[in-house]
Chains A and B, each alone.
Chain A
Amino acid sequence: MMQSPSDIMLALAEFSGIEIPAAYRPGVIGNLALIQAHMQQVMAFPIPEDIAFACEDRP
């Protein structure tokens, strides 16, 4: 059976040792839905290969 993106992310969290108590899951899933929309925006963009990763960008 196909799982929802939130289910998959929560399963991955468990895999990483991050426990999300059942009481918090509705709120976390609501936020994951928002994150999913932003992820789709970013992941869909074809970034040129010569743009490398750098986490401390200063313009």
Chain B
Amino acid sequence: MSGVLHGAAAFRSGAISATAAVAETLDRISRLDAGLGCFTRLFARQALDEAQVQDRARAQGRRLGPLAGVAFAVKDLFDLAGVTTTAGAASRLDAPPAARDADAVARMRAAGAILVGTLNMDEFAYGFVTRNAHFGTTRNPRDQARLAGGSSGGSAAAVAAGMLPVTLGSDTNGSIRIPAALCGVYGLRPGRGAVSVRGCFPLAPSLDTVGYFAATAQDFPLLFGTLKDDGASNPVMETPRVATLGGWFARNVTPDLQVAIGRIGERLGARGTIELPEVERARSAAFLITAAEAGNLHLPALRTRAGAFDPETRDRFLAGALIPAAAILQAQRFRRWFIARTFEAMGDHDILLAPAAPGVAPRIDDPVIQVGGRSVSARVQLGLFTQPVSLLGFPVLTVPVAAASGLSMGVQLIAKPGGEALLFRAAQALEEDGLVGMAPVQDRDVHTAFA
């Protein structure tokens, strides 16, 4: 699968028509998705119609958007005009259709990108595994016996399998960064407020962000330029000062991921290790804020239609709705303290390096990870290294690195607010040197027998 820039250039130059590009995409999806479970809905007819309109526009010499001829899909929590937003929940299948596109979708379409479908996720985005009671489990294209990660698992797996060059997702506590790591693709959680979340079904509004997955680091500036709010991110031209995060972020990490982080640090000229204060407490604060905001959001539906929820999600929401106000006030105050102390700890450093997940994707039939020598639930605990960073609201780009096993792992590149462009430049340099990158998945290795 070529990237967004490549696909857009091929269309503009006439090397391929939009109709042929979309037809090729749909064909690939039809061949591979039965074994992966990435898609929840396909809009084949509409996508082909839109592609024909673009082909005619090009033939007439009309101006085309920078993403014309490029197919994309979205996590099933983005509003699409005329379509019901399921948020991965059976309880929302009969909800009224959205009146208009989510802002991020509208911006992609305005730039010429062609929507082909919606992608699987954990119910209401509350999980790290993409095991959905109604829509099924999304399997990891690198090993279908393993989890894709979540909650934007369908979005990550679709890019990893080469079905699409770009997909949209959301990240509250790691829902872009974790599946990006486990599926072996790039995933951006922009800084809070950089990309509009309007029209996205919320999980925890004070932590939610909208971001995207892509196959190559080269595509990130164009995509961010398309999606960002006016004024977000300032390009920085100087060489970034880099440090590796130690302490909490150096424990429970597999040896090959530690080596990968070391190599990335060396290439970026990392100047030692920084320890952030109270990281474990930051994770707890993010956990409580998420649980309380999500629980409160869903309480009306839980009162009337609790039986329609996935039992695991239902029980988590109900428990979250019972968290005392004192704990939430304290967690939000701690959040301000943690942000201030992190700025101090970063000093003049521009980028911090940290693992995105402890190692490779857990097996579907044994969905656990090792933390402190104990096996714990991947669904709840995979956010070990992403949750504390969510509390900061800083921009984070997960870059994929290969594990010795052939599976994938991920490293978080974390910048200060407005530092997205710095992250893109660093990732491009790493990709050019072959230290990070999306390894292609061979079609013959994707088995439909898993359907």
Residues in B with CB closer than 8 Å to A24 are 306, 311, 314-315, 318
B interface, by DSSP: helix, strand, loop or mixed?
Answer: helix
Do B332 and A57 have beta carbons less than 8 Å apart? yes
B394 interfacial by beta-carbon distance below 8 Å: yes
Q: Mark A6-29, 1 if CB is under 8 A from B, else 0.
A: 000110110000111100100111
Do A30 and B315 have beta carbons less than 8 Å apart? yes
Do A47 and B281 have beta carbons less than 8 Å apart? no
Do A38 and B206 have beta carbons less than 8 Å apart? no
Q: Mark A35-48, 1 if CB is under 8 A from B, else 0.
A: 10111011101011
Q: B316, B332, B334: which contacts A55 (Cβ < 8 A)?
A: B332
Q: Which of B286-318 contact A (CB under 8 A)?
A: 287-288, 291, 299, 303, 306, 311-312, 314-316, 318
Residues in A with CB closer than 8 Å to B333 are 47, 51-53
Q: Nearest chain B CB to A40's CB is how many angstroms away? A: 8
Q: Nearest chain B CB to A59's CB is how many angstroms away? A: 5
Q: Nearest chain B CB to A10's CB is how many angstroms away? A: 7
Q: How many residues of A contact B (CB 8 A)?
A: 35
Tier of interface size on chain B = 35 or more
Do A42 and B331 have beta carbons less than 8 Å apart? yes
B324 interfacial by beta-carbon distance below 8 Å: yes
Please choose the segment from B63-71, B83-91, B166-174, B335-343 that sits at the chain A interface, where 4 or more of its residues have CB less than 8 A away: B335-343
Q: A31-B316, A53-B333, A57-B332 are in contact. List 20 more A-B contacts (CB 8 A).
A: A10-B322, A20-B318, A24-B315, A28-B318, A29-B319, A30-B315, A32-B319, A34-B380, A35-B287, A35-B322, A38-B284, A39-B284, A39-B288, A42-B288, A43-B326, A57-B393, A58-B193, A58-B393, A59-B191, A59-B392
Q: Which residues of B contact A (CB under 8 A)?
A: 191-193, 206, 278, 280-281, 283-285, 287-288, 291, 299, 303, 306, 311-312, 314-316, 318-324, 326-327, 329-337, 339-340, 343, 380, 392-394, 416-417
Closest 4 CB pairs of A and B: A27-B315, A31-B319, A41-B284, A38-B284
Q: Which residues of A contact B (CB under 8 A)?
A: 9-10, 12-13, 18-21, 24, 27-32, 34-35, 37-39, 41-43, 45, 47-48, 51-59
